[in-house]
């Protein structure tokens, strides 16, 4: 189980790294699809079918939208610009060294505070069952649904579901506001 998950994660990382260095924008989008669909296989291996269904549908719709937007923009301009940037640039700049040094310094500070934070957590295999205990006790009898995920999402945690639906409505309102400014004559 762990070996298969590790192999799929390595493929996802390789796909993400390739999409940064691709010469063509369409190739970059398709290699981003590797990350999304690899995540679907990871969800199925970890026994979460609800998440897998939603992830595969949202990934497909997002890829379709992005490809239909990219195919209209001029791909030739992007190819020429990509080939100009990659030659004649000195590798060691002072900005690179400064950025890497600040990054390592902040990582060390965070590691130091992390050492204090994990002292208060419980041991590695034991779970803190304060909220999960009442859920597991009789979820099917109390909520009445045979699917425990639906019972938790819509009954025990219904307020969070309302927040999630509100996020989607806000996203649609934002997209319509931004894209309609030029559409109105």
Query: By C-beta, is 3 or 179 nearer to other proteins?
Result: 179
Q: Tokens standing for 109?
A: 């500070």
Contact status: 125 vs other proteins (CB under 8 A): no
Contact status: 163 vs other proteins (CB under 8 A): no
The number of residues that bind other proteins (CB under 8 A) is 43
Residues between 21 and 60 with contacts to other proteins, criterion CB under 8 A: 49-50, 53-54, 57-58, 60
Contact status: 182 vs other proteins (CB under 8 A): yes
Q: Tokens standing for 112?
A: 């130091």
Q: Cα separations (Å) of 60 from 138, 146, 163?
A: 37, 29, 24
Query: By C-beta, is 95 or 184 nearer to other proteins?
Result: 184
What lies within 8 Å, CB to CB, of 9 at 6+ separation is: 38, 42
For other proteins, the binding residues (CB under 8 A) are 49-50, 53-54, 57-58, 60-61, 64-65, 68-69, 72, 140-147, 149-151, 153-155, 158-159, 161-162, 165-166, 168-169, 171-172, 175-176, 179-180, 182-183
């Amino acid at each position: 189980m762990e070996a298969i998950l590790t192999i799929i994660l390595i493929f996802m990382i390789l796909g993400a790294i390739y999409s940064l260095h691709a010469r063509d924008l369409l190739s970059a989008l398709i290699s981003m699809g590797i990350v999304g669909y690899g995540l679907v296989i990871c969800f199925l291996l970890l026994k979460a079918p609800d998440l897998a269904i939603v992830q595969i549908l949202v990934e497909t719709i997002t890829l379709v939208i992005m490809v239909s937007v990219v195919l209209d923009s001029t791909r030739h301009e992007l190819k020429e610009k990509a080939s100009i940037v990659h030659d004649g640039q000195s590798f060691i700049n002072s900005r690179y060294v400064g950025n890497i040094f600040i990054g390592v310094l902040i990582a060390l500070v965070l590691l130091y505070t992390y050492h204090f934070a994990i002292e208060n957590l419980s041991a590695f295999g034991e779970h803190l069952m304060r909220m999960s205990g009442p859920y597991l006790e009789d979820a099917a009898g109390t909520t009445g649904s045979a699917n425990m995920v639906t019972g938790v999402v819509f009954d025990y945690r219904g307020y969070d579901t309302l927040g999630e639906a509100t996020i989607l409505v806000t996203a649609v309102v934002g997209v319509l506001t931004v894209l309609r400014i030029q559409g109105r004559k």
